[in-house]
């Protein structure tokens, strides 16, 4: 009996693996086509200044319009891209498209910064910053309109390489936002040694705005960040309660469904026109 069920479990597991690898294999093949046949596109989520509700920045979020599977979000393909060495191509595609959208924004008198999420693998990729820089130069983009995001957990995981990576970014005048701050075990003493100027508070910190101790933690993190000279954006803001809390604690910026879901570039332009 136990032998039998063990065998079933094994069969089940190997079927699962086969199924999974089959699915991933086909996505792998498709992904190369996606990059070359422009099936990738960007959504943008607005970042709002809490003092006046104005949109001051956008976060670019890559999507894949798959010919059969519909729209895929990054969790469905970034890992595969990383595993297959395509992620550099994806990230370069993203930078190139952000540059074009920055130029469109500026030509409409909307001076907004666009940030992009950079794959963890690029910390160890010596080609990454020079390539990014080459694109920014070719597209003639002032560095104040562009920046990268990397999660605190990723920075800490690569802590031996992170100072060098950030140093090179700084030399290239490219700013970095520490994403998902407060969700990992990295130490503040360590973060303080890095050339960063902005943090995004992790969504999980805001999940229960009525909880008194959560409130105290958020207040302390914001106050401390300001003491260290860092600007703070709150992520995943969905409720009016959360907005009030963040305003009370002088959080600088916020993004989340309360202010707008990720949307196509044209929708962003429409919103900006409505605002001005
Ligand atoms: P992230 O940087 O933490 O991005 C925020 C994610 O939260 C986005 O998911 C966004 O759609 C979602 N979100 C925004 N507001 C809310 C809210 O109010 N509530 C909730 N529940 N969720 C909200 P998305 O677009 O699926 O992106 C997931 C992750 O994929 C990103 O996490 C980022 O790490 C990665 N990613 C996105 N674009 C790129 C890219 O161009 N290159 C690379 N390498 N990674 C990317
Ligand atoms: Mg991000
Ligand atoms: Mg995240």
Atom 14 of ligand 1: nearest residue by CA position: 256
pLDDT at 4: 45
pLDDT at 149: 97
Structure confidence by residue, pLDDT tens digits, 130-177: 999 999 999 999 999 999 999 999 999 999 999 999 999 999 999 999
The CA-to-CA distance between both ends of the chain, in Å, stands at 72
Pocket test for ligand 1, best of 101, 117, 150, 253 (most atoms within 8 A of CB): 117
pLDDT at 33: 84
Alpha carbon of 180 to ligand 3 centroid (Å):
6
- Taking the C-alpha atoms of residue 211 and residue 231, their distance in angstroms, rounded to an integer, is 24
pLDDT at 61: 98
Alpha carbon of 198 to ligand 1 centroid (Å):
17
pLDDT at 258: 97
Task: Output the CA torsion 230→236→239→244 (10° steps).
Answer: 0
| ipTM entry | 0.96
Pick the closest to residue 201 from 173, 224, 247, 232 (CA basis).
Answer: 232
Alpha carbon of 212 to ligand 1 centroid (Å):
28
| Average pLDDT by stretches of 10, the chain with 276 residues | 48 57 73 86 98 97 94 92 88 96 98 96 94 97 97 92 94 95 81 90 88 88 94 96 95 98 98 90
Q: What is the DSSP letter of 73?
A: -
pLDDT at 189: 82
- Reported residue count of the chain is 276
């Amino acid at each position: 009996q136990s032998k039998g069920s063990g065998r079933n479990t094994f069969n089940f597991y190997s079927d699962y693996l086969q199924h999974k690898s089959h699915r991933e294999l086909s996505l792998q093949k498709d992904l190369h086509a996606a990059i070359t046949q422009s099936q990738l596109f960007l959504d943008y989520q607005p970042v709002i200044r809490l003092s006046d509700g104005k949109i001051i920045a956008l976060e670019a979020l890559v999507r894949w319009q798959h010919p059969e599977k519909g729209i895929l979000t990054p969790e469905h393909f970034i890992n595969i891209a990383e595993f297959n060495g395509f992620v550099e191509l994806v990230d370069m595609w993203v930078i190139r498209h952000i540059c074009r959208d920055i130029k469109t924004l500026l030509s409409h008198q909307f001076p907004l910064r666009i940030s992009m999420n950079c794959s963890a693998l690029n910390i160890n990729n010596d080609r990454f910053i020079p390539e990014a820089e080459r694109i920014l130069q070719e597209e003639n983009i002032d560095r104040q309109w562009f920046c990268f995001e990397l999660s605190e957990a990723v920075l800490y995981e690569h802590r031996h390489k992170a100072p060098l990576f950030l140093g090179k970014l700084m030399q290239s005048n490219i700013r970095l936002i520490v994403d998902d701050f407060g969700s990992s075990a990295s130490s503040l003493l360590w973060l303080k040694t890095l050339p960063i100027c902005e943090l995004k508070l992790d969504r999980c910190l805001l999940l229960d705005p009525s909880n008194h101790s959560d409130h105290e933690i958020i207040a302390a993190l914001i106050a401390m960040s300001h003491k260290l000279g860092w600007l703070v954006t709150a992520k995943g803001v969905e409720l009016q309660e959360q907005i009030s809390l963040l305003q009370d604690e002088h959080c600088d910026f916020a993004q989340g469904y309360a202010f707008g879901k990720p949307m196509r570039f044209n929708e962003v332009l429409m919103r900006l026109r409505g605002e001005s």
